[in-house]
Amino acid sequence: MKCTVYIATSLDGYIARTDGGIGWLPMPKPGEDDYGYAAFMKTVDAIVMGRNTFELVLTYDEWPYTKPVVVLTSRPGVLPSPLPPGVRTLSGAPDDIIADLERTGAKHLYVDGGVTIQRFLAAGRIDRMIITRIPVLIGSGLPLFGTSTHDVTLRHVQTRSFPNGLVQSEYLVL
């Protein structure tokens, strides 16, 4: 199973404000450059995200995913009901989540959400990271990376810059 992170951070390394807000994050409008997101999504079989990320996505005007979504939560009864089509909940270690999704035929997972990314990275289950840095300093918030018990070595694949100042780097996790 291939697991990829595709995420944006502020220049100071935060994925959201302390309250979870992402108002600082520019969202492309239809017809604008999507920074490779649509092409990336064509390669993905399923999306794994944490509960907080799921609840944030529920605030969007419409449900953005056509791929199966797995929401990781130890309290599924807390989630709004009914769940959007194609959404289910799971709990457990990253290896167990991946084994479950492999049984469905999935071969490439999009892993999203700070805590979820940190858990999968700590378990050695992230293969690739595409990180887009937004040219804004928000000062505090939810970091993409938390503390780690070991070094995580990466190999730089490529970096692209965009006219609006966004810089996107892709890494393989060794």
Model confidence at 72, pLDDT cuts 50, 70, 90, reads very high
Specify the CATH class of 35-166 in words: alpha beta
Model pLDDT, residue 77: 81
The per-residue pLDDT for 96 is: 98
Q: What is the pLDDT of residues 139-171, one digit of tens each?
A: 999 999 988 889 999 999 999 999 999 999 999
Phi and psi (nearest 5°) for 24? Answer: -80, -15
At a CB cut-off of 8 Å and minimum separation 6, what does 132 contact?
Answer: 7, 8, 9, 35, 166, 167, 168
What residue spans define the domains of the chain?
A: 35-166
Mean pLDDT of the chain: 95
CA atoms 112, 118, 121, 125: torsion sign? negative
69's tokens: 């979504």
Taking residue 72's Cβ as centre, other Cβ atoms within 10 Å add up to 23
What is the reported pLDDT for 172?
98
Per-residue model confidence as pLDDT tens digits over 114-135: 999 999 999 999 999 999 999 9
pLDDT one-digit tens code per residue, 27-66: 888 889 999 999 999 999 999 999 999 999 999 999 999 9
Strand 128-134 relative to strand 167-173, pairing: antiparallel
pLDDT tens-place string over residues 14-37: 999 999 999 999 988 888 999 999
pLDDT recorded at residue 50:
95
What's the confidence (pLDDT) of residue 52? 93
Start-to-end C-alpha separation, the chain: 15
Q: What is the mean pLDDT of residues 77-98?
A: 93
- What average pLDDT score do residues 81-108 get? 96
Q: Is the pLDDT of residue 78 over 90?
A: no
